[in-house]
Chain A
C-alpha cells in the first residue's frame, strides 16, 4: 500500500460507514435531534451511496495489492474506518456528517494523487 492509496481507501470506507449509519433511525436521531427520521428517498440514497463507497474502498485495496492480499488489506481498512466511525458517532455526533462531507471533498484529490503514483 502507499500513503495516498491507503488514505483513499480509508476515506471511502469512512464515508461509506457514515452514509450507512445515517440511513438508520437511531443514528440519524443522534445527529439531528430526538425523533428525527430520514426521509424515505434520502434513506434509499444513503444506502446506495454507502454500498457503492464500500465496494470502491475494497476496489482501491485490491487495485493496490491484487486479489489475495488486497482483500485482506481491504477488510482491515473497513475495520479501522468502522472504529473511527463509531468513535465519532458517539463523541461528536453533530460533527459526523460535516466530517464525512469534508472527507468526500478530499477524495478526488487523493484519487488523483494515487493515480499519479501508479502511473509514474
Chain B
C-alpha cells in the first residue's frame, strides 16, 4: 500500500479482471443464453413447431409416461418425468440405468438417458431430431465441457471470485461514478474504451453485482462445505443434509432388493394437485421403481416468487400413502438462500423481465470485452515509442490481442456454428447431440488459432464479419431447412412466437457484429490514408486494434 488505496485498487482491478476475462466472456455468453434455455431447445427441434397439441390432464399424461418407462427401463434406479409447462411444450422422461454388474459404476449422470414422449400417445417422439439444445449452453455456463464436472465448477467458481474482486475494486477505482454516470465520448481512442467500460459496468451494476455474488451462492456447498460437514458429521453427512433440505432429493433411500408392483401414480398426481389448490406439477420422480422401498416425489410447478425452491410431496411407491411433504414451510435461512439462488436463475421472470435479464447479461459481456480491450490499448500506448521505431509489440500484448479476438469475436462464431450444425447435420446421424457440440468447439478453436497466428485489425474484421454472416445467415438457412422460418412465423403471423423471437434475435446479433465490423473498416481506411500522407511514419499504425 505504498501508493495509496486507489492506485493499489486500480492494480487489483486490472489483474483480477485480465486473468479471467476470457473465461468470463464464455460464462456471460452461456449464462445470457440460458435465460432462454427452453426457447433455444424448442427452436432446435423444428419438428415440434408445426403441431398444435391438445393439452392432456396431468394425471393422464403421467400415467402414459409411466407405461412408457415400464417398457423402456423397468430395471432403472430412478425415473424422471418433466411435464409440459408454459415455456416447454414437450414431456421429457428420463431414467438412470442400474450400474453394470461388472466394471465401475460411474456417476449417475453418465448412466442417465432421456427422451421426449408424446403426451397424447405415450410413445417416444421418434421424428424429433436428437439435440442437447439450450441445455448444452446452460451446462457450458458452469460445467464447461470435455472435463470432469467438479473441475469445471472449481474453475468457474474461481473465475467468479475474481470477478467479484474486480467489481468491488472497480467501483473503488472509478472515482467519478456519479460525475461520469451519463458519459460516453465516441471516437476518442482510449477515452472511448474507458467510457464504454464504465457505462456497461455502472448502468447494469445492480445486475453484475447480483449475478456474480448469487453465482457463487449456487455453488456454495462446493466452495464452502465446512458448515455442512461440521453439522452433519460422519459418512454421508452431506447427502443426509441435502435430503433434509432439498425437496427434489427427498426419498432417495436404499432399495430393498425385493420386487413389489408400483402403485398407480395418476391418483397421487390428482391428490397433489388438490393439495396445492389446483397448481400443476413440474416434475415426477420415482426412486427404485418396482422395488418394495419405492418412493414417488411430486414437485409443484414454479409459482411467481423469487425463491426457486418449490414444495414437494413424497409418497410410498407401493402403498401410495403420503409419507412426507418437503419445503412447505422452509426456514428463513433456507428461503434467503433460495431467493439468492432464484435471482440468479431468473425462473420467476415473465418474458419482459427475461429480456431485461438477457440484455443485462449482454452488457456484462460488453463490460468484460471493453475491459480486456482497454488493457491492450493502454499497453500499446506504453509501447508506442518502441513500436514506432520498428520494434515488435511485446509477447504479452500480442497474446492478449490474440486472446481478445479469439474470445470476443470468436465466441459469437462458436454459438452461431452450433445453431448451424443443428440444422445441417444429418438427422439419422449417431451421437448427433455430441456432434453439434463438437461443431461449437471446432469453430471456436479455428477462430482462436487464426487469431493467434495473425492478431490485428484485419483479423478483427474477418472474425466479426464471419460472426455477423453466420448469425444473420441462420434466418436464411431456416427457409431451406424448416417450415417455421420468419416468412411463416412472422409474415403470415402463424407463430410459434418463441421461434420468431429467436430468429429476430439472431438478426439483431448479426447486425450488431456487422456494425462493429463497419466501424473497424472505416478506421482502417483512415489509418491507411494517414499512413499514405506521411510515408515512412508507422505511428498511425500503432493505434491498430485500439
Report chain A residues within 8 Å CB of B182: 17, 20-21, 24, 27, 82, 85-86, 89
B215 to chain A, nearest CB (A): 16
A79-B203 in contact (CB<8A): yes
Most buried by B among A27, A72, A83: A72
Q: Does A52 contact B (CB under 8 A)?
A: no
B187-234 contacts to A, CB under 8 A, are 199, 203-204, 206-207
Per-residue CB contact flags for chain B residues 169-201 toward chain A (1 = under 8 Å, else 0) read 000000000010111111000000000000100
Q: Does A91 contact B (CB under 8 A)?
A: yes
B184-A76 in contact (CB<8A): no
B306-A72 in contact (CB<8A): yes
- Size bracket, chain B contacts: 20 to 34
B183-A79 in contact (CB<8A): no
B350-A79 in contact (CB<8A): no
A49 to chain B, nearest CB (A): 16
How far is it, in angstroms, between the C-alpha of A67 and the C-alpha of B115 when the chains are bound?
Answer: 39
Most buried by B among A24, A68, A76, A91: A76
Q: Does A6 contact B (CB under 8 A)?
A: yes
B257-316 contacts to A, CB under 8 A, are 304-306
Report chain A residues within 8 Å CB of B350: 1, 65
Using known A-B contacts A26-B183, A69-B306, A69-B353, determine if residue A79 contacts B199 with beta carbons closer than 8 Å: no
Q: Does A87 contact B (CB under 8 A)?
A: yes
Report chain B residues within 8 Å CB of A20: 181-182
Report chain A residues within 8 Å CB of B305: 68-69
A-B pair count, CB < 8 Å, reads: 70
Residue of A nearest to B339 (CB): A68
Q: Does A106 contact B (CB under 8 A)?
A: no
Stretch at the interface among B63-71, B106-114, B357-365, B437-445: B357-365
B184-A90 in contact (CB<8A): yes
Interface of A, secondary structure class, is helix
A96 to chain B, nearest CB (A): 10
Q: Does B256 contact A (CB under 8 A)?
A: no
B189 to chain A, nearest CB (A): 15
Q: Does A80 contact B (CB under 8 A)?
A: yes
| Number of residues from A at the complex interface, CB < 8 A | 26
Report chain B residues within 8 Å CB of A76: 207, 353, 356-357, 360
How far is it, in angstroms, between the C-alpha of A86 and the C-alpha of B181 when the chains are bound?
Answer: 8
A82-B357 in contact (CB<8A): no
How far is it, in angstroms, between the C-alpha of A85 and the C-alpha of B199 when the chains are bound?
Answer: 11
Per-residue CB contact flags for chain B residues 337-355 toward chain A (1 = under 8 Å, else 0) read 0000001000011101100
Across the interface, B352 reaches (CB within 8 A) one of A6, A26, A68, A75, namely A6
Q: Does A11 contact B (CB under 8 A)?
A: no
How far is it, in angstroms, between the C-alpha of A21 and the C-alpha of B179 when the chains are bound?
Answer: 10
B309 to chain A, nearest CB (A): 14
How far is it, in angstroms, between the C-alpha of A89 and the C-alpha of B180 when the chains are bound?
Answer: 12
Residue ranges of B at the interface with A (Cβ–Cβ < 8 Å): 179, 181-186, 199, 203-204, 206-207, 304-306, 343, 348-350, 352-353, 356-357, 359-360, 363
Q: A79-B207, A89-B184 are in contact. List 18 more A-B contacts (CB 8 A).
A: A6-B352, A20-B182, A21-B181, A26-B179, A27-B182, A65-B353, A69-B305, A69-B306, A69-B348, A72-B306, A72-B343, A73-B353, A79-B356, A80-B359, A86-B184, A86-B203, A87-B184, A90-B183
Residue ranges of A at the interface with B (Cβ–Cβ < 8 Å): 1, 6, 17, 20-21, 24, 26-27, 65, 68-69, 72-73, 75-77, 79-80, 82-83, 85-87, 89-91
